[in-house]
């Protein structure tokens, strides 16, 4: 009888413990916002742009899916009041990331990524997009923020052509960055030829997949991550735009989230719940260590790298390099490949200068500027889509 009593007591304890664990998991899911509608993903729906009658807004709705620094989505759109065929793209100075991007080079690259998505979408919905860069003149670098607010990056003029079949259109709706593992397969000659063909005078795509170059670029990528992880003001800048749960993601619709750290599936909600309860899990040393660890995981499964270089580092060249980067992303996706920037070593804050100079000495000895360093390969898995703002939030009030 005593043995039965002990067994019964143990069973009750185990059941109670199981109930406590289950309750804890349910609490984490609720804190994460597992049942909250993901409004921040609405722009990824292929029917989203069709909600708007104005073709300029339709194209902007495609443009905001483009790659952008820190997922800040720093774009503003002004619709021409007098010409329904014309709209203007402005850089949103309120979304600058001054610590990691002190000269706003990445900000300008991000303007270019938007413009190329607009071009590809234009073909699909039946418009040729004529793009004029800095139509009112280039920025006054001594008053950069003021220039961004008053001078457009681009004037876009639409010309009706009728819809065309675009092999790249579907790739607009695939996340631009895949931080997961890549297969060890080298790029084929046909893939390299296609990507090489994207180059143009003063703007080049260079692919590196021999062991020596991959090893050297692995080393640069890791050293860049280590340096960045140790610069507190840069890490703090990233921490300020981290969205810990679904409620925050719906509120802000830009910035970082756990998906960007390679988390997927049910683990997203478990981690979001934990980070919401214990913010220190994603700040300070914990955030720095996680950043280095995730970079190491990326480097360990990188069969090849791509660089985008420009002959000079003018604002126009920076924007054009962004347009080329978007086209690289779309073409890579069309070829069954994925990309992920590992460009910390190209950032211009003082602590990174030695590495910045080193990679330029090794890979741009003629004085050009490396605008992007990107890993490329065949992905092992798909990755979730990231937050996007409502396109109407980009439209400037006239």
Question: pLDDT tens digits for 66-90?
Answer: 999 999 999 999 999 999 999 999 9
pLDDT at 13 over 80: no
| Cα(116)–Cα(138) distance, integer angstroms | 20
Tokens of 107: 């900000």
pLDDT at 360 over 90: yes
Q: How far apart are CA 368 and CA 101, in angstroms?
A: 19
Residue 6 in this model has a pLDDT that exceeds 60: no
Per-residue pLDDT tens digits for 132-142: 999 999 999 99
114: how many CB neighbours lie within 10 A of its CB? 31
Say how far apart CA 270 and CA 264 lie, in whole Å.
Answer: 10
Pair 69, 218 in one domain: no
pTM of the model: 0.94
**CA angle (257 as vertex; 255, 262 as ends), nearest 5:** 130
The reply to whether 77 and 141 lie within a common domain is yes
pLDDT of residue 69: 95
Does residue 287 sit within a domain? yes
Which among 286, 292, 285 has a CA at the least distance from the CA of 274? 286
Could you give the count of Cα atoms lying within 13 Å of 356 in the half-sphere of its Cβ? 14
Write the CATH number for 73: 3.40.109
At 233 the pLDDT is 97
State residue 75 phi and psi, 5-degree precision: -120, 140
Contact (CB, 8 A) for 353 and 303: no
Residues 136 and 256 grouped into a single domain = no
Which residue range is the domain that position 10 belongs to? 1-32
Coil, strand or helix: which one is 312? coil
Is 1 inside a domain boundary?
yes
Domain co-membership, 204 together with 324: yes
Chain centroid to Cα 148, Å, comes to: 21
State phi, psi for 342 to the nearest 5 degrees: -130, 60
Q: Are the CB atoms for 257 and 269 separated by under 8 Å?
A: no
Task: Give the residue-averaged pLDDT of 198-207.
Answer: 97
Does residue 105 lie in a domain region? yes
**Amino acid 4: pLDDT:** 60
In a domain, 178, yes or no: no
Number of domains the chain is built from: 3
DSSP, res 66? S
Give how far Cα 175 sits from Cα of 119, 154, 260, 397, Å: 18, 25, 11, 30
Min mean pLDDT across 19-28, 201-210, 287-296, 359-368 is at 19-28
Q: Is residue 369 part of a domain?
A: yes
* Residues 167 and 311 placed together within one structural domain of the fold: no
| Inter-residue contact 194 to 331 (CB < 8 Å) | yes
Q: Are residues 273 and 372 in the same domain?
A: yes
Angle at which helix 2-32 crosses helix 267-277, to 10 degrees, equals: 80
What would the two tokens of residue 172 be? 């607009």
Structure token digits, residue 278: 């214990």
* pLDDT score of 251: 97
H/E segment holding residue 259: none
| Token reading at 18 | 């199981």
Q: Which residue has the tokens 């607010």?
A: 149
206 and 280: one domain?
yes
Residues 6 or more apart whose CB falls under 8 angstroms from that of 382 comprise 178
219-224 average pLDDT score: 98
Same domain for 100 and 74: yes
Query: Over pLDDT 90: what percentage of the chain?
Result: 82
Instruction: Output the average pLDDT for the chain.
Output: 93
Q: Same domain, yes or no, for 205 and 318?
A: yes
Same domain assignment for residues 315 and 355? yes
User: Are residues 106 and 223 part of one domain?
Assistant: no
Quick one: pLDDT band at residue 267, thresholds 50, 70, 90?
Answer: confident
Judge if 218 and 349 occupy the same domain: yes
Q: pLDDT digits over 310-339, tens only? A: 999 999 999 999 999 999 999 999 999 999
CATH number assigned to the domain comprising residue 266: 3.40.109.10
**Is 301 domain-assigned?**
yes
Would residue 182 count as lying in a domain? no
Mean pLDDT confidence for 269-286: 86
* Residue 196 reports pLDDT greater than 60: yes
Structure confidence by residue, pLDDT tens digits, 132-168? 999 999 999 999 999 999 999 999 999 999 888 889 9
SS3 375: strand
- The whole-number pLDDT of residue 191 equals 98
- Please report whether residue 122 resides in a domain: yes
The DSSP symbol for 205 reads: E
Question: DSSP readout, 81-132?
Answer: SS-TTEEEEEE-GGG--TTT-TT-HHHHHHHHHHHHHHHHHHHHHTEEEEEE
Per-residue pLDDT for 7 more than 80?
no
Neighbours of 27 (CB within 10 A): 12
What confidence tier does 170 reach under pLDDT thresholds 50, 70, 90? very high
- pLDDT of 342 reads 97
Length of the chain: 398
């Amino acid at each position: 009888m005593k043995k039965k009593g002990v067994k019964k007591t143990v069973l009750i304890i185990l059941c109670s413990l199981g109930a406590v664990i289950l309750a804890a998991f349910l609490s984490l899911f609720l804190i994460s916002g597992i049942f909250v509608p993901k409004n921040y993903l609405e722009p990824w729906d292929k029917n989203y742009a069709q909600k708007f009658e104005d073709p300029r807004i339709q194209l902007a709705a495609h443009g905001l899916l483009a790659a952008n620094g820190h997922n800040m989505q720093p774009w503003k759109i002004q619709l021409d009041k007098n010409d329904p065929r014309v709209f203007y793209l402005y850089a949103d100075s309120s979304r600058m990331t001054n610590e990691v991007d002190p000269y706003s080079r990445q900000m300008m690259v991000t303007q270019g990524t938007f413009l190329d998505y607009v071009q590809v979408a234009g073909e699909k919905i039946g418009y040729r997009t004529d793009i004029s860069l800095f139509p009112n003149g280039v920025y006054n670098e001594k008053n950069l923020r003021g220039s961004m607010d008053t001078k457009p990056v681009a004037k876009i003029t639409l010309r009706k052509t009728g819809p065309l079949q675009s092999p790249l259109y579907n790739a607009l709706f695939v996340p631009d960055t895949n931080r997961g593992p890549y297969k060890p397969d080298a790029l084929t000659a046909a893939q390299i030829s296609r990507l090489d063909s994207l180059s143009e005078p003063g703007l080049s795509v260079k692919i590196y997949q021999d062991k020596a170059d991959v090893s050297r670029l692995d080393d640069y990528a890791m050293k860049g991550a280590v340096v960045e992880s140790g610069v507190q003001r840069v890490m703090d800048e990233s921490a300020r735009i981290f969205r810990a749960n679904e409620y925050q993601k719906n509120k802000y619709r830009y910035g970082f989230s756990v998906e960007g750290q390679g988390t997927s599936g049910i683990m997203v909600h478990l981690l979001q719940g934990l980070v919401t309860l214990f913010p220190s899990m994603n700040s300070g040393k914990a955030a720095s260590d996680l950043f280095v660890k995730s970079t190491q995981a990326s480097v360990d499964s990188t069969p090849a790298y791509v660089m985008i270089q420009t002959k000079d580092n003018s604002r126009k060249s920076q924007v054009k390099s962004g347009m080329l980067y978007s086209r690289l992303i779309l073409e890579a996706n069309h070829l069954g490949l994925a990309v992920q920037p590992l460009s910390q070593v190209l950032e211009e804050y003082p602590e990174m200068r030695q590495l910045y100079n080193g990679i330029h000495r090794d890979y741009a000895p003629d004085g050009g500027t490396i605008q992007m360093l990107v890993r490329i390969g065949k992905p092992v898995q798909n990755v979730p889509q990231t937050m996007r703002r409502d396109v109407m939030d980009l439209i400037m009030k006239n």
